[in-house]
Every structure is written in structure tokens, then in C-alpha cells.
A and B are shown apart, each in its own frame.
Chain A
Amino acid sequence: MAKLSAVLVLFLAMTFVSLGTMAGDGVPKPDIPRGKGDRCVRDVDFMRKNHMDLLLHERDLTVHNGIRPAGEALTNCIACHSVKGANAEPITAKDPKHFCRECHDYAAVTIDCFECHASRPQAANKLTLFPIGERVTLSGRVTK
């Protein structure tokens, strides 16, 4: 009897293990589009955990103190991480394929950045005085 129950337990355990594996394979993962360029303003691991803190910090510096650094701004996130749609134009945050939405939809975290902010890059415009997508590097070089 003891032998039978041991076999039964083993069988059940195997079933659960195999089911678990199947379930693990079946969970859809967010399809994160690659950004432009070879690296982000910080490490990928850092950005995954802390991008919201960077954005919050920057927004107060910019709005209240007028500090507008070239690299770490939402504008530049959007410039590098824009995703092109069917018509080869960058898509807005209304599209679930938008870079921010890929993860935020997956994690069910609502963001309201794009209630006010532009969610796709705009062509560099002389009025902005600072062409979008350009980044000033340490040597003073402006990179696209």
C-alpha cells in the first residue's frame, strides 16, 4: 500500500511539474522593442527599476528651475524608443505597441505622462532651438 501511494505521489508530482513547465512557457512576455543607439543613458537594469525616479526628478528640475539637460529627458526617451507603425510613422501611446505601453500594459500599471506630453518624436523644428534626438556628449559633440 505504501509502495502504491509513493508511486501515486511521484506521478502527481510529475504531472504538476510538467503542467508548471507548460504554464511557464505559455505566459506571454512583453515584446520590448530595442531603442536606437548602442546604450541607454544608464544601465538597462538600472533603467528597468528606476526610470520613473529619473523622470520625476528631472521634471521638477526642468519646470521649476529651468534646468534642461540634453540627455535625460522624456523627449529623449521617446526619440530613441519610438516604434514605427504600419505607415512607417512613429506610433502614439494610443497604440498598444508603443514602447512604454508594452511593459506598462503587461504590468497593469497606468501612466498618465501622455495626457500632456507628446508620445512620439516630432521632426526637429527650428522653434524648439534644441533639435530633438540630439544628445550632447562629454566631448561637446552633438550626436544624432
Chain B
Amino acid sequence: MTLDPKPDHSRRGFLGAALTLTAGLAIVPGVILFEVAKPKAAQPSTAGVTSKVRWGLLIDTNKCEPGCDACVTACKTEHGWEGHGRPRTDPQWIRKIDIRDPKFGTERSLPVMCQHCAEPPCVDVCPTGASFKRADGIVLVDKHTCIGCRYCMMACPYKARSFVHEAQEDQKTHSPRGKGTVEGCNLCVHRVDRGGTPACVEACAAEAKGAIVFGDLNDPKSDISKRLARYPATRLRADLGTDNGVAYQGL
């Protein structure tokens, strides 16, 4: 019944291998292994995350229009968060901000969400290890271990995290969220693990101009890497050295 604080990854690796080898065999009478086989449409993810990929977003602010919040709406629908008319405490996984250069008057509109830093300050300060970075670069909150201290919210330079103040019911099955825990953009891990793209990226492509590109920053052949190689991009507060997984073009 006790939860091992340090998951034994080597054993899991072995179990994973054992699963693929003995799929479908009854190992012990009464212990039957299901799954493993993979249909194309609904692919259960059994491989696990790897540091060979680093997921990231590229946001082209030239294509992002002021007043458009398709990405925010899609995120709300996907994860079931909403405001309660209390801007100081409302949950906020992604927000649109409008900025203006005071000297030249240049205006830009852009979405800001968790920047999925390679050196995330939220992970540094978390006292329980609930705030963590997955091997593939996605920064998450493990709500099983989050105690709601909100240090990560204070440490984050991007105000990307929020705290759930209200008791929740009928959450989205794929996106558990509950009172007393911190939450933020999870780059739609449930989709990414099954080979999909985040909801905001899909919505921007379908309803707006496709300003957000999702992809593997480690793969030079990926669309996102090619775009980043061709045109210069900015990362928010690059001076902090957090090595963000989200980059902006046209800022």
C-alpha cells in the first residue's frame, strides 16, 4: 500500500519489455495481461517518454490577431477550466496579451502559456517534487503530490500557473484538476502521448491563421525546427536562461 517515493524505472523498463514479450499470456493463473496491441486510430501509449524528443511551440505573432482567442477557448474546452469573474484568482492556462512598443507604436498580440523551460524555476522551488519536467521537456504538476503551496506560481517568470480555488466536479476525464492544487498548460500531454497535437495548435490552424506550430525541437527535420532555422525567433525573458520550449517570431 505504500507509495515508493522513487519510482524504480529499471524495473518498469523490464516490465515494459516483459509486456511486449508475453502479451496475452497468463503469467500467473488469474493474472491476465490485456492491451499492448496497437490499432492505428486509437493508439494506447506504452512506450513512455524519451529525452530524444523535446516538444516545443513556435508562435508567429505576425499571424496572431488582436481580439482572437481561439486558442484560449480551445484550451478551456479541452481541459474544462473557466473563469469565475475573479481575475486575481481565476485559473488561467493560456492567455492572450496585447503589447505595444511605446517608442515606435508597434502592436502585437500573442498567447502566453507555460513556456516549458529546460531549466524550469517552478521545478527548482517545489518542496514535494510535484512540479517536474518530463524527459521530453513538458513541464507538469503531479497533482497527486502537489500540496498547493504555490511556490511555483511565485517562481514562474511568466505567470503561467494558477491555483484551483473551487471544488471541481465532472472534470474532463483526460485532464484531472482539483481544488487545492496548482495547474498550468500541460502541452496537452494526453494528446501528445498518442501522437496528437495540442488543442490550441489545432484550434489556431482551424479557426485562425495557424500562428502556432507544435513539434520536436530536437529533430532538425521537423517543421518547427526548419522555421526556427530560417527566421529569427525570440524567447520571452531569454536573459533568465530558462531555455524555453516556446519561441515567438515577429516580436
B129-154 interface (Cβ within 8 A of A): 132, 134-136, 140, 142-144
B49 touches which of A52, A66, A131 (Cβ 8 Å):
A66
Which residue of chain B has the shortest Cβ distance to A41 in the bound complex? B34
The CA-CA distance from A137 to B47 in the complex, in Å, is 17
Q: Which residues of A contact B167 (CB under 8 A)?
A: 115
Q: Contacts A70-B44, A136-B44 given: A128-B7 contact, CB under 8 Å? A: no
Minimum CB–CB distance from B40 to chain A (whole Å) comes to: 10
Q: Contacts A116-B177, A128-B190, A129-B194 given: A136-B38 contact, CB under 8 Å? A: yes
The CA-CA distance from A70 to B42 in the complex, in Å, is 9
Q: Which residues of B contact A120 (CB under 8 A)?
A: 170
Q: Which residues of B contact A30 (CB under 8 A)?
A: none
Contact A42 B30 (CB under 8 A): yes
Which residue of chain B has the shortest Cβ distance to A115 in the bound complex? B178
Q: Which residues of A contact B77 (CB under 8 A)?
A: 127
A37-63 interface (Cβ within 8 A of B): 41-43, 45-46, 52-53, 56, 59-61, 63
Q: Does A26 contact B (CB under 8 A)?
A: no
Which of B23, B42, B47, B189 has the largest number of chain A CB atoms within 10 A? B42
Contact A46 B172 (CB under 8 A): no
Count A interface residues, CB 8 Å.
Answer: 48
A94 touches which of B46, B135, B169 (Cβ 8 Å):
B169
Contact B176 A116 (CB under 8 A): yes
The CA-CA distance from A2 to B37 in the complex, in Å, is 77
B104-140 interface (Cβ within 8 A of A): 132, 134-136, 140
Q: Contacts A63-B142, A66-B49 given: A138-B191 contact, CB under 8 Å? A: no
Q: Contacts A66-B136, A130-B194 given: A142-B48 contact, CB under 8 Å? A: no
Contact A69 B173 (CB under 8 A): no
The CA-CA distance from A64 to B3 in the complex, in Å, is 14
Minimum CB–CB distance from B34 to chain A (whole Å) comes to: 4
Q: Which residues of B contact A127 (CB under 8 A)?
A: 77-78, 174, 191, 199
Q: Does B45 contact A (CB under 8 A)?
A: yes
Q: How large is the interface on B (under 10, 10 to 19, 20 to 34, 35 or more residues)?
A: 35 or more
Which residue of chain A has the shortest Cβ distance to B7 in the bound complex? A60
Contact A64 B173 (CB under 8 A): no
B34 touches which of A43, A59, A115, A136 (Cβ 8 Å):
A136
Contact B34 A139 (CB under 8 A): no
Contact B35 A70 (CB under 8 A): yes
Contact A68 B194 (CB under 8 A): yes
Q: Mind listing 6 A-B residue pairs with CB under 8 Å?
A: A64-B142, A67-B47, A122-B170, A128-B174, A129-B42, A140-B38
Other than the known A135-B35, A136-B44, what 11 A-B pairs have Cβ atoms closer than 8 Å?
A56-B3, A61-B12, A64-B134, A66-B45, A67-B47, A68-B194, A92-B170, A117-B178, A129-B194, A132-B173, A138-B23
